[in-house]
Amino acid sequence: MFRKIDETISVAPQISVEQVQQAADQGFTTIINNRPEQEEPGQPSGDAIREAARGAGLAYVAIPITPGGFTAQQVEAMQKALSEAKGPVLAFCRSGTRSTFVWALARGAAGDDPATLAEKAANAGYDISPIAPLLARR
């Protein structure tokens, strides 16, 4: 379920409250929620995930991203969350794609090579070619 991009981050589709403890057991230290509230009926609330994360000793960051695109503030918030993490991060959204995209944009803004980012994402099952023009501009 959790797809490892590299040693610092894995991504996932929507996680459940129960999976928060699984994330902690697997060594994650931070959960980043890239999903807007009530995007889909029946999804757990961000508050429920946050409380489960706190209960499991994990940091929790909410950076909701709608399917419509990314803002500079969201990319900056992702950079900050990644840089402040005390260990591996688990980021999630509906499918894991937005989490992968915003990770790639944050790492690209930090100077990582776009081709390396694309390879890491592909190894985890994600295609970041839709954001390649954004990465090329950084």
pLDDT digits (tens, 9 = 90+) for 74-111: 999 999 999 999 999 999 999 999 999 999 999 999 99
Total length of the chain: 138
* Residues 19/31, Cβ–Cβ less than 8 Å: no
| Tens-binned pLDDT, residue by residue, of the chain (138 aa) | 899 999 999 999 999 999 999 999 999 999 999 999 988 888 999 999 999 999 999 999 999 999 888 899 999 999 999 999 999 999 999 999 999 999 999 999 999 999 999 999 999 999 999 999 989 876
Distance CA 52, CA 61 (A): 13
* Residues 13/95, Cβ–Cβ less than 8 Å: yes
Digit-coded pLDDT (tens) for 87-97: 999 999 999 99
Q: What's the confidence (pLDDT) of residue 137?
A: 77
Average of per-residue pLDDT values in the chain:
95
Question: What CATH architecture is 3-99?
Answer: Alpha-Beta Complex (3.90)
- Residues in a beta bridge with 3: 11
**Measuring CA to CA, which residue among 119, 91, 85 is closest to residue 103?**
91
Q: Where are the domains of the chain?
A: 3-99
